[in-house]
Amino acid sequence: MIRSLSAATALGLLMASSAGAQTVLDVVAWKGNEAEPAGLPELIEKFEAANPDIDVDLTYVARKDVDKVIPPRLQGGNPPDVTMVDSALVDLWGGAGFLTDLGTDSPWYDRMIPAVRDVMTRDGQILVYPLEVIGMGNFVNMDLLAKVGIDKAPVTLDELKAACKALSAEGIAPMIFAGGFPAMLFVGANGIDPNGISPAEYGSGERSFVDDENFNASLDSVRDLVAAECFDPKLQAGLDPWATAPQEFRAGNVAILPQGAWNIGNFSAVEGLNYQFAPMPSAYTEHGLALDLVGPGWAIPRDAEHKEAARKWVDFFAEEENLNVFLTAEGAYSPYTGGVSTMPDLAAPYTAARDAGSLILWPFSTLEFPKILQSEWEDSITGFLLNIDEDNEETLERWDYAIEDSL
């Protein structure tokens, strides 16, 4: 609507506008939308109240689209003031000189978990404020297990196979092992010995998968699960790991689902769903293996227009009470030592494994495994489920070829 204003009124509005001029902080993230709010609406409101001269303009961009949306802005000199990044983006954009060094003298730097600090520090610089370490393991429907007399989430391979046999005998679907992500978690947990060979040896090509005893045994253990009636491999190969698989668990149709702790909020919203989040059963430990994914963080682009306001945003999240809002919403652990745990009691089995030191940092999130290998794992493990009697060599060679292509 167009309105006619007198000169005096127009001048008054102009002066009022100038007096109340705000810094608009341009923030891009793949969190904060309705499906995955991550506490950001609440935190933005609190940040703006503490900084009345700053308005936060949050733009949601899905992670799969960030690689297309942000680079042109970085290259054109008009980036957002703050952008969410993960280790792959830090490596790519930081390596090209597009990110600001936040300083190893930042008060939160020395509080970072050493393994995370080592991953995120690049050539003596810290280009990201890490927000979370998020667990990946098994969601277990405790009511379904109780129907067959089991009162503990399985954390060893023997416990898992025994649970599958008991559930199957009662006509209860034991486990979702969808091709792609859920199956990857199990194969990784049974191929990577937390006290053995470093994942970096595979990722660098120093050690091959095809000749590796651990990963051959890991694929063999998938066959053991099939023999224990945990799942039908051909049915699982075509199951959508991101939509159908979680929905089946939400509906109470299956007892065990390998997935990430980011589902905790979604599952906990289901009335009457009694579940626990447990570590992945593994051949290497009696505690189960916690698979910790180094999650996203905040970075300030080199050419950000409002760097001072951007730094206030980072420092705001560095305050424990603010970060805890994010962590609680995400179902995540803090990447910093000390502080109060924000994880719910239902994650006690997973936390117990971490406390026992039975954990690894997921090598795709630490860049020990190259990004190209992840898609190869997803595709080849799906193919393995479709041809479960195929020799392991067919699958493992594909991983070695992917490593060769990345070098």
57 - beta bridge partners?
26
Which pLDDT score, from 0 to 100, does residue 94 have? Answer: 96
Could you give the angle at which helices 181-189 and 213-227 cross, rounded to 10 degrees? Answer: 120
The verdict on 28 and 160 lying in the same domain is no
Which pLDDT score, from 0 to 100, does residue 206 have? Answer: 96
Which pLDDT score, from 0 to 100, does residue 282 have? Answer: 96
Instruction: Tell whether 156 is covered by a domain.
Output: yes
The verdict on 230 and 279 lying in the same domain is yes
The verdict on 38 and 119 lying in the same domain is yes
The verdict on 256 and 311 lying in the same domain is no
What is the extent of the structural domain holding 42? 23-130+296-331
Which pLDDT score, from 0 to 100, does residue 21 have? Answer: 60
The verdict on 263 and 165 lying in the same domain is yes
Which pLDDT score, from 0 to 100, does residue 339 have? Answer: 84
Q: What is the pTM of this model?
A: 0.90
Contact 338, 111 (CB under 8 A): yes
Instruction: Please tell me the total count of domains within the chain.
Output: 2
Over the chain (407 residues), the average pLDDT of each successive run of 10 is 34 42 93 93 98 97 95 97 96 96 97 92 95 98 98 98 98 96 96 95 97 97 98 95 96 98 94 98 97 97 98 98 96 93 96 96 96 94 96 97 95
Burial class (CB in 10 A: 0-12, 13-18, 19+), 223: middle
Instruction: Tell whether 113 is covered by a domain.
Output: yes
Instruction: Tell whether 7 is covered by a domain.
Output: no
Distance CA 304, CA 313 (A): 13
